[in-house]
Chain A
Amino acid sequence: MSNSPIETDVVIIGAGPCGLFAVFELGLLDIRCHLIDILDRPGGQCAELYPEKPIYDIPAYPIISGQELTDALMEQIKPFDPQFHFNQRVDEIEKLEDGRFHLKTDDNQEFICKNVVIAAGGGSFTPKRPPLPGIEEYENGSVHYSVRRMSDFEGKDLLIVGGGDSALDWTLNLTPIANSVTLVHRRDKFRAATDSVNKMLALREEGKINFHLGQMTEIHGENGEMTGVTIKGEEEVLVKCNRLLPFFGLTMKLGPVANWGLNLHENLISVDTEKFETSAEGIFAIGDINSYPGKLKLILSGFHEAALMAQKVNAYINPDKKVVFQYTTSSSSLQKKLGVK
């Protein structure tokens, strides 16, 4: 599927706290943003890693959870009507002849924008790959870390590994169309929704799925075609299968950012501390993903970086506009933008 390119002022890569606050700072300068994130919701690490965990170092909030911070930021940027594109990863950035940037995601969505802000935190969240020898060989067909098309699994012998919602949901959804389904988990306790657990247990009772207690130790097959996986539990069993779906959660990887030709320092993007611009003119990096002398990976540092970045983006986008520094407390024009009545 190819959609026509979306044209906007700024594309922000990453919808974590820094990406969200960047919308605010750019919005005050009348700059419009689209945000792209690989997760299915805003918040980045705050939403994925610690939604319920307290954060103690957000100025003026003695305590706030990752989710509360995300919700508050979403509320704060509402007046600027940011457009979100979730479940997508930016794969390519290219500078056009007219100085603008062309971006393409893994979902084939294209963007054309005047500036790019990389606020990608620890990189993109990617499914964990079980460290089984030779697993890469099977990733072109036999091993799937997500289900994009259910029809890929029709009539196949599936091995699903894990004990959370993804593992159980796909066990339930794919059992009717697969030839056989084997579920493997390291213990007979599941973190998934109770309803899913009960449905899965019923399928086990009815003999519609096989269940093994244990962990994967070896993949068998040849020429990229999987034939089975050894499971070690109380005893060792060889499960015959031609599709493997491992669900071990997500990990952060720098991902395609490394291929964009930006200067990196220990896998982080080098920026200056005046504008937080990268080695590529017009591309900025804020938050955990950037690096500069004295860098602290704190959300509050990312907020500061967003504010300074916005000034430079404004200079690029509105070169002739006289910049008058204003406070939201007293400026009627800023308050108008924020919808203050």
Chain B
Amino acid sequence: MPKITFIEHNGTSHEVEGEAGMTVMEVARKNDIPGIEAECGGACSCATCHVYVDEGWLPKTGASEEMEEDMLDFAFDVRANSRLSCQIKVTDELDGLIVRTPEKQF
């Protein structure tokens, strides 16, 4: 089971187990990680599951696709490592992934 670490804006860290095939957003929701709202339920339509991927993991998570990039326009404090966690599929390759949640999902 790939492990994923979510680090809140205040520094609180949560290491949880994901499952290949789930999205990072679903893993967060399943484990009640604060700071991931996922209002639209994973349809890439709301930008409330915005996370910052730890720089070292960027090559493995890949870049966002156009639709996700468009939706990130609705997020706040978007950075080069911003992703919508509903669009990152968990794979065994991502074992150890670290993502940070923004101060607010707005």
A contact set with B: CB distance below 8 Å: 45, 48-50, 53, 122, 128-131, 162-164, 185-187, 189, 191, 215, 248-249, 251-252
Contact = CB atoms under 8 A, between A and B. Distances in A.
B66 to A, nearest CB: 9
Contact of A49 (B40, B104, B106): B40
5 A-B pairs with least C-beta separation:
A249-B74, A49-B45, A131-B104, A50-B43, A49-B40
A122 B39 contact: yes
B76 A164 contact: no
A64 to B, nearest CB: 14
Contact of A252 (B39, B43, B76): B39
B22 interface: no
A317 B40 CA distance: 36
B106 A163 contact: no
Interface of B: 39-40, 43, 45-48, 69-70, 72-74, 76-78, 103-104, 106
Contacts of A130: 76, 106
Given A186-B73, A215-B77, A249-B74, 15 more contacts: A48-B45, A49-B43, A53-B43, A129-B106, A130-B106, A131-B103, A131-B104, A162-B73, A164-B73, A186-B72, A191-B73, A248-B73, A248-B74, A251-B39, A252-B39
A128 B106 contact: yes
Nearest to B37: A251
Contacts of A187: 69, 73
Contacts of B48: 251
A49 B44 CA distance: 8
A191 B106 contact: no
Nearest to A128: B106
A50 B45 contact: yes
Contacts of A248: 73-74, 76, 106
Contacts of B39: 122, 251-252
A164 B106 CA distance: 17
Contacts of A50: 40, 43, 45
A50 B106 CA distance: 19
B60 to A, nearest CB: 24
A21 to B, nearest CB: 20
A49 B46 contact: yes
A122 B40 CA distance: 10
Nearest to B72: A186
Contacts of A251: 39, 46, 48, 106
Given A50-B40, A122-B39, A251-B39, A131 B76 contact: yes
